[in-house]
Chain A
Amino acid sequence: MTLEAIRERVRAASERRSPLRLRGGGSKDFYGGEPHGEMLDLSRYAGIASYEPTELVVTARCGTPLAELESELAARGQYLPFEPPHFAPGATVGGCVAAGLSGPGRAAVGAVRDYVLGVKVIDGGGRLLAFGGQVMKNVAGYDVSRLFAGSLGTLGVIAEVSLKVLPAPQAEMSLSLEMPLERALDACNRWAALPLPVSASAWHDGELVVRLRGSEAGVQSAARKIGGAPRDASAFWTSVRDQTHPFFASPGSLWRASLPPTAAPLGLPCTELVEWGGALRWVKGDVDSKLVREAARRSGGHATLFRGVERGDGAFAPLSPVVMRLHRALKSAFDPHGIFNPGRLYPGL
């Protein structure tokens, strides 16, 4: 598939004012509002456009499978530090950036948006726009590249993206510690305030698993400080990232509550899996939306209905009226006829 073909589809849809449902690998179809509109399959606009390991930059077309990108990087000893979830085998780079979701390393190393250096996007008029670039620092013009990260395809087609990559850590070790949630939160926050190479944490059902990444010397000395039992955990971290861990199979809706890491346990009648040193609380069970949203809000964060039994009245926490007004204005700046993924992020957007 060529770029020109995608632009042609967009122009035609725009003329007919007919909504398009943008899709990469379909691995995140469940996420956000119900997708609808004519399918625009982007998975065939694929391939790594350029990769310069010494520049720490890779540029890939949107349909490039994440798995392919990751193995290209691994072959040169580099990786995507934000560990994007795949959820299913077909996950693409475009979908990863549009969804804006990051994996276990997020609290330690940053999110997808932190690694986006530049994008080429197709706007609602079918124009190909280029923002940012392939260099590490760039403050010419507003940072529109990062605006597209997490926009769930509502602003335009992300045709190509340049990402910052990093050298893979030399050493890694995971440790398992038995403790209740309150103590785990306390421990994670204490460690995070010390210069320790903690790169991920996950607490569930009385077990805290902590991952260290860095130099051999740094990992060894941190392991002595933290204690616990070494655990072979690479499959474990993938299962947390891609939600194949048994916790995610328990009944009920899945909520993703993003809280300040020091917030007390939410105390909802649900099971929980806690990542990011306390900053991410997965909540699973049959609870009323209002209850979860209100609990998250009171703790200084927000909750997303991540996988709903019913998608109900929107997946994402409502925005303040001013912020919503800005969303509408930005949406109509990039997609004046509202053809891209209507309702996927917020109803009416």
Chain B
Amino acid sequence: MDLARQRETVRRLREFLPERSVLWAEEDTRPYECDGLTAYRAVPMVVALPESEEEVRRILRTCSEGGVPVVPRGAGTGLSGGALPLGNGVLLSMAKFMRIVRLDPRARVAVVQPGVRNAAISEAAAAFGLYYAPDPSSQIACTIGGNVSENSGGVHCLKYGLTVHNVLRVRGFTVDGEPLEIGAESLDSPGYDLLALAIGSEGMLMVVTEVTVRLLPKPDCARVVLASFDDVQTAGDAVAAVISAGIIPAGLEMMDRAATRAVEQFVGAGYDLEAAALLLCESDGTSAEVEHEVERMERVLRSAGATRIAVSRDEAERLRFWSGRKAAFPAVGRISPDYYCMDGTIPRRRLGEVLRFIGELEKKYGLRCPNVFHAGDGNLHPLILFDANDPEQLARTEQFAAEVLEKCVEVGGTITGEHGVGVEKINQMCTQFRSQELEAFLAVKAAFDPTGLLNPGKAVPTLARCAEYGRMRVHGGALPHPELPRF
């Protein structure tokens, strides 16, 4: 670490920030060394914890004047290393922006600060019969600022959309501290859709200091159908059958046997552990609508080959059926020292095929890989189980993951459906895109951030990097991210 640079940065920030808002001693900055992707770590040079928009503005100005890179951070639950700090930069934690500024039940909007937790919005809106629809599994911890930056999804996104469909406006600053407001409480703002660019931009285009979200009326009632299948291929085909029957379930999730067995020990959701795969298919609406739709779902699932069907009888049972799905990641975390979560999206009709492919890779690499995922969206989350203390296992894991992601691209999908590229999948960007599209992304970045000081090195690879990655692969040395700290 460049101590003179650190001292100078701290001195300049302390000119307007109180002592508690500037961290630099290693014992204070170490907790920020990684996000949810713990494989990558770097202790930031300085951590800044602003409490007002004016402080954010001045931090950004100070950093851009000093040529110091800035990495924004919410709750640090991101799974692709988007909030990975830089050893020569400032980590800008938005954790103190925790206020719900305004909740207008009549207009069905909430104006919130970026550090507000996702679940806290729905909790505050519940009194009015409203809620915020996108519900990542991490919703009790992750922040709306992080959701905006990753365009996060959840189990209800098939019917109610992703973050990009549920955010009306963001306010914040460009990297040089210029205030920027995009979108409005009114619809379809004039000009280019900058909101679509800002959402999912992984903290690389602007720092978000306020978000206006749309709230939806809570459905009167919801029930979930739990269907068992003898093999994953049939379950995959059943997903397509539900959609082609003209049903858009409120949620349509799949878990294979390795996953159900892991969660059953953990939460006791009451799953059929003999089934090779389970589908959770939810209906919501008025009770008459739900009754009718559940009947149709049952009929379709049965004729698609479901061997057993259970329908939640009351709210407690519905929550119990979901509890296993919601706890899947932590449950898997208990049966293996480490797991590696992937996030590719594929066309639904290729589900069976890709799951079989993953099954073969399990044998090829000698590593287990349970699957729990957003089947209705075709968004896979294979979880490769490994032990990070064994470098050889780690190398196999990385090759396994790279093969899966490349398969997703090959069948017409994408390397990331909701977790973002971050540092983790930056090399696979070279597989998914040609240089000309990457150049366009770099140009978008430069339009917002000409100096490249905001969260540099994430999400969009340079062309030189892709050339290097290509050469490495041609030479068969399949070790990605050679310059990054190892697990």
Interface residues of A (CB under 8 A from B): 52-57, 77, 100, 102, 106-107, 110-111, 113-114, 123, 127, 129-131, 133-144, 146-147, 149-151, 155, 166-168, 170, 189, 192-196, 214-218, 221, 258-262, 276, 279-280, 300-302, 304, 316-317, 319-320, 322-323, 326-327, 329-330, 333-334, 345-346
Contact = CB atoms under 8 A, between A and B. Distances in A.
21 contacts: A55-B348, A135-B346, A135-B417, A140-B421, A141-B460, A146-B164, A189-B106, A193-B106, A193-B129, A193-B217, A215-B285, A217-B288, A218-B285, A218-B286, A258-B187, A258-B188, A300-B186, A317-B190, A322-B180, A329-B446, A333-B447
B459 to A, nearest CB: 7
A316 B190 contact: yes
Contact of B188 (A100, A221, A261): A100
- Going nearest first, the 5 A-B pairs with the smallest beta carbon separation are A301-B186, A146-B196, A329-B447, A167-B246, A333-B443
B199 interface: yes
A151 B188 CA distance: 12
Interface in B430-444: 432-433, 436-438, 440-441, 443-444
Q: How large is the interface on B (under 10, 10 to 19, 20 to 34, 35 or more residues)?
A: 35 or more
Contact of A150 (B193, B248, B418): B193
A316 B191 CA distance: 8
Contacts of A259: 186
Contacts of B179: 322
A143 B194 CA distance: 9
B292 A217 contact: yes
Nearest to A216: B292
B191 A111 contact: no
B190 A140 contact: no
Nearest to A170: B246
B235 interface: no
Interface of B: 104-109, 128-130, 150-151, 153, 157-158, 161-162, 164-165, 174, 178-182, 184-194, 196-197, 199-201, 205, 217-220, 240, 243-244, 246-248, 285-286, 288-289, 291-293, 345-349, 374, 377-379, 412-421, 425, 429, 432-433, 436-438, 440-441, 443-448, 459-460
B187 A111 contact: yes
B217 A194 contact: yes
B440 A123 contact: yes
Contacts of A195: 217-220, 285-286
A194 B217 CA distance: 5
A342 to B, nearest CB: 15
A143 B243 contact: no
B244 A134 contact: no
A319 B190 contact: yes
Contacts of B417: 135-139
Contact of B196 (A106, A143, A166, A167): A143
A196 B285 CA distance: 8
A217 B349 contact: no
A131 B414 CA distance: 11
B108 A129 contact: no
Given A194-B129, A276-B187, A221 B288 contact: yes
A136 B158 contact: yes
Given A135-B417, A258-B188, 14 more contacts: A135-B347, A137-B157, A140-B414, A143-B151, A147-B196, A168-B246, A189-B107, A214-B289, A215-B289, A302-B184, A302-B190, A322-B180, A330-B447, A333-B447
A54 B243 contact: yes
Contact of B161 (A110, A133, A167): A110
Given A195-B285, A322-B180, A107 B187 contact: yes
B444 A144 contact: yes
A137 B345 contact: yes
Contacts of A123: 440
A137 B377 contact: yes
A100 B188 CA distance: 9
Contact of A322 (B178, B193, B432, B444): B178
Given A55-B349, A135-B413, A142-B444, A327 B192 contact: yes
B285 A166 contact: no
Nearest to B288: A217
Given A316-B191, A345-B191, A260 B246 contact: no
A134 B164 CA distance: 17
A141 to B, nearest CB: 5
A206 to B, nearest CB: 23
B285 A322 contact: no
B437 A54 contact: no
B284 to A, nearest CB: 8
